[in-house]
A and B are shown apart, each in its own frame.
Chain A
Amino acid sequence: MWSKLRMIKTAIANKIYSPILSAITNKMKITKIGEFEELVLLTVIVLQREAYGVAIKKELEERIGNSISVGSIQSALKRMEEKGFLTSHFGEATAKRGGKRKRIYSATPAGHSVLARMKEIRAGLWSSISDLSPGFSFG
């Protein structure tokens, strides 16, 4: 009974509060994305229609050169989905997955903009470094 009540509450929360809430929070923590999350988000965009858990994991492992656990990929995906950087839908099921369906992720406009913003911040920082070249002295 309690779980039913909770579901009603959740539904109400999702329909009414969360757009408002997410509008506010989006404004507030628009740049709030972790480093690993950023990598995962980028990978999702790279992989396009093939962006599901294992594919992302393989792609990143190849690029980083280290093994990454399913757990860390999944938790990053879920967090970003909650923050509104990602959306997802179920894809096809394969025998290799024991008949379980894939979940295909794609970046939302918010995801794209957060990436762009991160890139901008970094580029700004880098350019600041090139301005102050190593040979510069205060003398």
Chain B
Amino acid sequence: MKEQPPDPRPPQWPLSFMRWAIREDYLEEIEGDMEEVFQDNLERYSLKKTKRLYTVETLKLLRPAILKHFNPQSFVPPTAMFRHNLLISYRGFLRNKTSFLINLIGLSTGLACTLLIYLWVADELSVDSFHEIDPQLYQVKLHIQKEENIQTEDDTPALLAQAMAEEMPEVEAAVVINADFCKPEGILSHEGQIQASNGLFASSNFFEQLSYPLIEGNTAYVLSDKRNIVLSEDIAIKMFLSAEKAMGKTLTWKFQFDGETFEEIVQVAGVYEDPPDNASLQFDAVAHFDLLIKADRWAGHWSGSYAKTLLVLKKDTDIQTFNDKIGDFLFTSSQLPWRKNSKVFVQQYSQQYLHGTYENGVQLGGRIVYVRLFSIVALFILLIACINFMNLSTAQASTKMKEIGVKKAIGASRRELIWQFLSESMLMAVLSFFLAFCLVLLILPHFNELTDKSIRLVFEPNVLISLAGIVLFTGFVAGSYPAFYLSGFDPISVLKGRRSSSAGEQWIRQGLVIFQFTLSVILIVGVLVVKQQMTYIQTKHLGFQRDHVISFLMGNSNKAPALFLRELKQIPGVVLASNMNGNILSGYDNQSGYSWRGEEADKKFRFQAPRIGYDVIETLGMEMLEGRSFSREFNDGTSHIIINETALQLMQLDNPIGTTIGYGSETREIIGLVKDFHYGSIHRQVEPLIFRFRNGGRDILVNIQAGTEKATISQIEDLYETFHPGFPFSFSFLDQEYQQLYEAEERVAALSGYFAILAILISCLGLFGLTAFMAERRSKEIGIRKILGASIWGITRMLSLSFTKMVLLAILIALPIGYLIANRWLESFAYRIELHWWLFMIAAVTALLIAWLTVGFQTYRAARIDPVLCLRDE
């Protein structure tokens, strides 16, 4: 006989498997049999073989008659429970139609908001990320050290790209495109066909590196010659009917930048697909960068910043190290002493749309702020809608108590009940989602108009996953609290009917309402502040008149502006006409190098330095404080300047008029002092400014007699056409142009307005449901009170009181938070409104009034009830 092994036990895992697989009522017998056979075998075979035999025997046990799951009596289709839950939910919806509708409307509006914001955010995030080399594509920027701060600019010398590509091993390729101010806008003509175009100058590798696919032409050669032009598909079709026919055609291209007009004969060498909507760079004709250098020789020098430089960096380049390395690159390459202040760095190209704002050399948000803001708003609105669901379902707990009690008594586990309630809220979420989806389809065109986007609903996998995620999240958040709360009832007390709502439950429900209203009030405060600030900006006196003033660009370079201006002034409706270089609203002209104390240090100060002709100050209605403006009688030239108050403060001159200050080796005489006005963005403070006199500016400003705009403008147009044949007359009113400068803020103001209204509506919807329910539950109490002599007013007041308290508390919490947020936002404006107390008062009163209206209607109806009706059933 073999030696008895120390542990003659059957192997563990087949045993566990058997215990799991075999029907419970057969298990003891079969396990015993198996064990007995095992022991028998042990006497005959080795332990190893016995164990193996045991395993084989276990596998042979897999027979329908003795297995757990194949027994037909115990088989439950996995969908049964689900179907049961759906049925219960459906009956619940039918029974409580009001709260079902409130939930449906609330959740679907909330979801629709969230969907829209999701689409908007996704669109914002996708901007410029379509380039294949996106992870490697960087833009070169400059931090320029000024006296008072660091300014960050995109514009670099065009030579920088090549120098970096040659000297930096990390750079695979460098692409040059024109800076914004020398963007070639003009017209293309071919045998009488004329087409306005918004062009771009680019280096010859532009199409090779960036993902603007060519329809015609070869990426390597399309821009190899500076006589070549590449057209967008849109322009090619408009001019030549098809991309194919456009190839090889010769065009005359008249383009303008910086007030000058140029004319070139170019040949179509390629056609590219129109840039996608989410490209920040929109252009319909691309020409070789050398054309720009030909037009303005400074574009090819180290001292002129006429280009934007894009770098394709090698994979795995450490940007931090690279930035450290290139800091002084511009100074060392250009050998220009004044470039010493410019620190070179790179930023990922697709990042700069959202993270484009730098303050004092530090990256400080940009549009990403709005992306974050709206994401938070979306979450808030969804939360508010979910809270409605939570509150209504817990408030109706009493009606569900019996169901829960019975289910628990016959053995429902808590987990199963949680699933039941979660599936109810999921069903709700899915239903609302479909409704929300239809809403979004309806609203999307208007939403696009409002946000100036062209968002479409595209069903890509990642979009679908996100949508499913939003629905699941909503279902879970809305259902979680009721699920855990309702499933926790004690079945005995529930079935005895002893359960009444506990203090804790009341507290949570009130807490949720307070939370809802806090969010709503914060949103109201936000909207009020944004609106106020926008109105303030729009009505703010800029220091010059912008009503009834139109501006346009002169087309033909051959004609001097003076003649045109003289003719313009003949038109009866024209009050005054004048010319300058560049736009008064988005001006960028600046200069340094003035010295008023004869000191070298003065020269570092930068002045805004618009170049203006005669009558600009009068046309724009600016106020002269001292001296005179440029005038024909005095034969003003480049040696005369006019300064503003801020410049006077900086220079600290006692008697400015007639003072001569140095500029390089020359001198300039101050002939006038103008009251401060805004030149450029209102986000900036008024800066020291010097008006220089130039008679050749091609930006025409015309002050038109109020009320005669239409007739006058058509006369101006006729005159324009005789002077500039072939050039389209496109003018704009200064006040409209001004509004466009603050478009982003305008859009935020409009959007946040809508969202705040929705948030408060959804909150009120919840409050409405809650009040209706409370009134119903307290109907007996109301009946008894009425019998004992309570007045309708007294009962209404009693019922409204608890809600009023909640809303008041919410206001108390919301106002300080709203104040902090509003303050943060306003800090980005140099000129901003004061945060007056009455602004917050309005928000508080609005919230309270809306809440009262909601509650009052319900409570009044409840209070008017005939006591006989509610007391008769007992």
Contacts and interface: CB of A to CB of B under 8 A. Distances in A.
Interface of A: 1-6, 8, 10, 52-54, 57, 69-72, 74-75, 78-79, 82, 90, 93-94, 96-98, 100-103
A6 B80 CA distance: 12
B63 A71 contact: yes
Given A1-B413, A70-B60, A98 B32 contact: yes
Given A70-B57, A74-B30, 20 more contacts: A1-B410, A1-B411, A1-B412, A1-B413, A53-B32, A53-B33, A69-B57, A71-B60, A71-B63, A74-B26, A74-B29, A74-B33, A75-B63, A96-B35, A96-B36, A97-B32, A97-B35, A98-B31, A98-B35, A100-B31
Nearest to A58: B40
Closest CB pairs A-B (n = 6): A100-B32, A1-B412, A4-B411, A97-B32, A53-B33, A71-B60
Q: Is the interface of A mostly helix, strand, loop or mixed?
A: helix
A82 to B, nearest CB: 8
B66 A74 contact: yes
Interface in B1-35: 26, 28-35
Contact of A70 (B28, B61, B412, B413): B61
Contacts of A8: 410
B73 to A, nearest CB: 6
Given A53-B30, A101-B32, A78 B37 contact: no
29 contacts: A1-B410, A1-B413, A2-B80, A4-B410, A4-B411, A5-B411, A6-B73, A6-B74, A6-B76, A8-B410, A53-B33, A54-B36, A54-B37, A57-B33, A57-B37, A69-B57, A70-B34, A70-B60, A71-B63, A71-B66, A74-B61, A74-B63, A75-B64, A75-B66, A82-B65, A94-B36, A96-B39, A98-B35, A100-B31
B28 A100 contact: yes
A101 B25 CA distance: 12
B63 A10 contact: no
Given A70-B37, A98-B31, A102-B29, A79 B65 contact: yes
Contacts of B64: 75
B30 A70 contact: yes
B233 to A, nearest CB: 63
Contacts of B61: 69-71, 74
Interface in B37-52: 37, 39-40
Interface of chain B, main secondary structure: helix
B303 to A, nearest CB: 84
Of B31, B63, B64, the most chain A CB neighbours within 10 A belong to B63
Interface of B: 26, 28-37, 39-40, 56-57, 60-66, 73-74, 76, 80-81, 407-408, 410-413, 416
Nearest to B74: A6
A72 B60 contact: yes
Contacts of B40: 54
Nearest to A82: B65
Nearest to A88: B29
Contacts of A102: 29, 32
B29 A103 contact: yes
Nearest to B76: A2
Contact of A1 (B33, B60, B73, B416): B416
Contacts of A74: 26, 29-30, 33, 61, 63, 65-66
A54 B34 CA distance: 8
Contacts of A93: 32
A54 to B, nearest CB: 5
Contacts of A90: 29
A53 B81 contact: no
Contacts of B35: 96-98, 100
A69 B60 CA distance: 7
A102 B31 CA distance: 10
Nearest to A98: B35
B60 A97 contact: no
B60 A10 contact: no
Nearest to B34: A70
Contacts of A5: 410-411
A71 B29 CA distance: 12
Contacts of B31: 98, 100
A72 B416 CA distance: 37
Contacts of A103: 29
A93 B33 CA distance: 11
A82 B72 CA distance: 13
Contact of A71 (B57, B73, B416): B57
A95 to B, nearest CB: 9
A93 B31 CA distance: 12
